Amino acid sequence: MDPFRYVFYRDRKDWSDLEPVPQDDGPNPVVKIAYSDKFTDVFDYFRALLKSDERSDRAFTLTADAIELNAANYTVWHYRRVLLQALNKDLREEMRYITAIIEEQPKNYQVWHHRRMVVEWLNDPAEELDFIASILSQDAKNYHAWQHRQWVIQEYKLWDSELEFVEQLLEEDVRNNSAWNQRHYVISHTTGFSNKDILDREVQYCLKQIKKAPHNESAWNYLKGILQDRGFSSQPGLTEQVLELKETHCSPYLLAFLVDSYEDTLENPTSNHKELLCKARELCEMLAREKDSIRREYWMYISRSLESRYGLSGNPDSAATV
């Protein structure tokens, strides 16, 4: 007899006491999935275990079979956690198990939630940063991975090496928006952005990355993001630097940044009000006409709004603009 041939649960002697429970969709099933015999067998026995809330090793073993067939079944995972605790199972072994499953199915919600539960029970995040780094090396933007990473770092205060990790990822791909987000996350939870030296450092970092890859929305979003509520003018000389970049490293994001900085200045009454409004509207026109034509209608709308809000005539269609 071949010891490796799969045996249905219904044919296993040590399961003969259990009555399998089929699914019941009534007379008119909708979106019925056509399961194979093997699939049906495993889950008929799963349903039987659930019904009596059996707490046993055989139940625990079955959950692994069920997970292999459908790792998205959140009830199987919940039941497995109940058993892990009821049977006092080896959680280190469970970590090995969940590590393997996540490697195979890194975009499944249930597996990441399960891992988080096991890490919490062990109260040990030691493997997490390396593990997540490994998943990110296969897909650097996996939202689940980043979410788990932020949770681990915050929960266990593992901030120390994270900025370094982020910089490494940005070295590999300066357009990785998830990495830029993580940069903001780390700094806001550690040094914060209020310190002038930090803010300067971050502004310089952005400009450096922009020079390397000008057409990068992530870098510009970060630059705008750290300055927009502190006032763009809080960085003296920045507008001039950006105007220089406009000649050699132009992009729709650069131009939009200028529009936003001009608007920021316009909010506080200034002497060269009219000139700034004019410049801002010209930029909107440039964006609409050629630099960001997919958003043509939007930039025309922005131009009209600017005139409406800051124009002295109050007529949004004034001046030779859109």
Catalytic residue among 32, 51, 89, 107: 107
**Beta carbon of residue 43, minimum distance to other proteins (angstroms, whole number):** 7
Closest CA to 218 of 182, 180, 255: 180
Dihedral sign, Cα of residue 69, residue 79, residue 10, residue 21: negative
Q: Is there binding between residue 246 and other proteins (CB under 8 A)? A: no
> How many CB atoms within 10 Å of residue 98?
22
Q: How far is the CB of 308 from other proteins (least distance, A)?
A: 13
Question: Looking at beta carbons only, is 181 or 318 nearer to other proteins?
Answer: 181
Residue 212 interacting with other proteins (CB under 8 A) = no
Least distance in Å: CB of 116 to other proteins? 8
**CB of residue 3 vs other proteins: minimum separation in angstroms?**
27
Ordered DSSP codes for 156-169: HT--TTHHHHHHHH
Residue 121 contacts other proteins per CB under 8 A = no
> In sequence order, what DSSP letters do the residues of 238-285 get, joined into one string?
HHHHHHHHHHHS--HHHHHHHHHHHHHHHTS--TTHHHHHHHHHHHHH
According to CB under 8 A, which one of 7, 11, 16, 51 is a site residue for other proteins? 51
Among 95-103, 220-228, 239-247, 277-285, which window interacts with other proteins (CB under 8 A)? 220-228
The single-letter DSSP state of residue 321 is: -
**124-147: burial string, b at 16+ Cβ within 10 Å, e else:** ebebbbebbeebbeeebebebbbe
Residue of 58, 89, 224, 273 interacting with other proteins (CB under 8 A): 224
Closest CA relative to residue 171, chosen from 149, 201, 192, 140:
140
Q: Is 107 a catalytic residue?
A: yes
Quote the crossing angle between the two packed helices 273-286 and 252-266, to the nearest 10°. Answer: 160
Answer yes or no whether residue 143 interacts with other proteins by CB under 8 A.
yes
Assess contact for 319 and 279: CB atoms under 8 A: no
Is residue 251 a contact point for other proteins (CB under 8 A)? no
Report in angstroms how near the CB of residue 314 gets to other proteins at its nearest: 18
User: How many residues lie near other proteins (CB under 8 A)?
Assistant: 68
The answer to the question of residue 53 lying near other proteins (CB under 8 A) is yes
Q: Does residue 217 belong to the site contacting other proteins (CB under 8 A)?
A: yes
The two tokens of residue 131 are: 């593990």
Q: Does 308 bind other proteins (CB under 8 A)?
A: no
Residues 60-119 close enough to bind other proteins by CB under 8 A: 69-75, 78-79, 109, 112-113
| 3-state class (DSSP) for residue 50 | helix
Output 75 or 313, the one with its CB closest to other proteins: 75
The CA-to-CA distance between both ends of the chain, in Å, stands at 83
By CB under 8 A, name the binding residues for other proteins.
21-36, 39, 43-44, 47-48, 50-51, 53, 69-75, 78-79, 109, 112-113, 141, 143, 146-147, 150, 154, 175-178, 181, 184-185, 188-189, 216-218, 221-222, 224-226, 228, 256, 294-298, 300-301
Catalytic residue positions, numbered: 107
